[in-house]
Amino acid sequence: MSSNQLKVGLVQQAINDNDKATNWSASKTQLRTLAEEGCKLVLLQELHSTLYFCQEENTDYFDLAEPIPGPATDYFGELAKELNVVLVTSLFERRAPGLYHNTAVVFDGDKGLVGTYRKMHIPDDPGFYEKFYFTPGDVDGFKPINTSVGNLGVLVCWDQWYPEAARLMAMAGADILLYPTAIGWDKNDTPEEQKRQFDAWQTVQRGHAVANSLPVIVANRTGFEASPIAGDPGIDFWGQSFICGPQGEILAQASSDKEQNLTVTFDMKRCENVRRIWPYFRDRRIDAYSDITKRWRD
């Protein structure tokens, strides 16, 4: 494999309970498989250690949070070292008493932990009560994490709807955009509405690939997770993790309802070739964008 070739992988996983040891072991099995297949970069889904606990507001769930360093970073750091891969994980971070984040953690083989990204955009919708649990990130903003396989523009779930985040990562030198994710359907929605939601989700991220001429890797969870609130519909996580190239072309996509790994080999030189043909950065009118930092143009 030439120096321009990079084999990447992701794990799409179903979570049945809050037993971290069991869930980590399941992730480890798939990580070993991907490493044996030659992957040098692997992405896990958002909050892969536990159930998606944000379906209700309950202070007991803060007990699921961990410090950095802590048990999760020790476990996955050792695994990344053993497998000699760059590994992007996700955890519920306890930064201080009463201060918690939804944090992506990046390990680089024997270098260990090389960077973190704290989720910046925090949703608060029925079944997704994340503002109760997570403080928005406040360190370095949208800054890629340097690794042995390139500069990783790591963002998390709700960040994927914001072109500003992807653009700033690209402008700071990101080579790949990565989105650990936990998104799914309300079972009360019609099949037509469910399709619209999925199509919007995938399209906006393919758009980030196109607008920035960068490959995108998206790892979503799969499976149904019941709500702890009586009468609530729960979340049917729609899976369909995917990897796309720098023109938004789908290179691999997982099923909606099965645990699955994906692998793709990127030609990293192609990103520069695409930018030469489609020079969006050259033609940006930065003199006319000052209002983009306003909440609204009243």
Annotated catalytic residues are: 46, 119, 157
Residue 59, phi then psi, degrees to nearest 5? -65, -20
Angle at the Cα of 39 from the Cα atoms of 220 and 52, rounded to 5 degrees: 20
Give Cα separations from 57 to 52, 53, 215, 250 (angstroms). Answer: 12, 8, 36, 37
Question: 219 near 44, Cβ under 8 Å?
Answer: yes
Distance CA(113)–CA(81), nearest Å, equals 10
Residue 218: name the closest of 113, 123, 104 by CA. Answer: 104
**Looking at 199-298, which runs of residues are DSSP E strands?**
216-220, 222-225, 235-238, 242-244, 250-253, 260-267
Tokens of 48: 């892969």
Distance CA(23)–CA(182), nearest Å, equals 15
- How would you class 144 by CB atoms within 10 Å of its CB: exposed for 0-12, middle for 13-18, buried for 19 or more? buried
Distance CA(203)–CA(197), nearest Å, equals 10
